[in-house]
Amino acid sequence: MHGHCVFMMHVHLVFVTKYRRHVFDADAIQRLRLHFASVCKDFEAELVEMDGEDDHVHLLVNYPPKVAVSNLVNSLKGVSSRLLRKERPDIANRYWKNMLWSPSYFASSCGGAPIDVIRRYIEQQQTPH
């Protein structure tokens, strides 16, 4: 049996629309939430929270150590842009030259594990006899 990893690594991400264009309404935010959750699942990550305004979105993602945040971000932005364009043609013409997102993004690690999570992990370790 190979090593088991307990992880609680959260990253706070902010994506801004290209040139801060006002693109999103409530329906678009809801669609983005579903697409982001689906991409996270593919990375064995979890979309903990997501919200946004008309020109930006915030995501809180719990992700495994094997995932590079830059890869996750590229996938989140690429998939969401493509699917939203397909589902909401009315929004697609607010894209700037077919680009939904600004190429930059904000990422911040946040939140240590609550002490009970750490304690549970330690207690689960086998004591050698």
What HEC string does 39-56 produce? HHHHCCCEEEEEEEECCE
Residue 53 pLDDT: 92
The string over 19-48, giving b where at least 16 C-beta atoms fall within 10 Å of a residue's C-beta and e elsewhere, is eebebbeeebeebbbebbbebbeebebebe
Residue 21 pLDDT: 86
In what helix (H) or strand (E) does residue 109 lie, and over which residues does it extend? strand 106-110
Residue 126 pLDDT: 67
Which of 32, 36, 31 is closest to 61 using CA atoms?
A: 36
Query: For residue 106, what are its two tokens?
Result: 């904000």
Residue 115 pLDDT: 76
pLDDT, tens digit (0-9, with 9 covering 90-100), for 29-82: 999 999 999 999 999 999 999 999 999 999 999 999 999 999 999 999 999 999
User: Can you point out the beta strands (E) in 54-97?
Assistant: 56-62
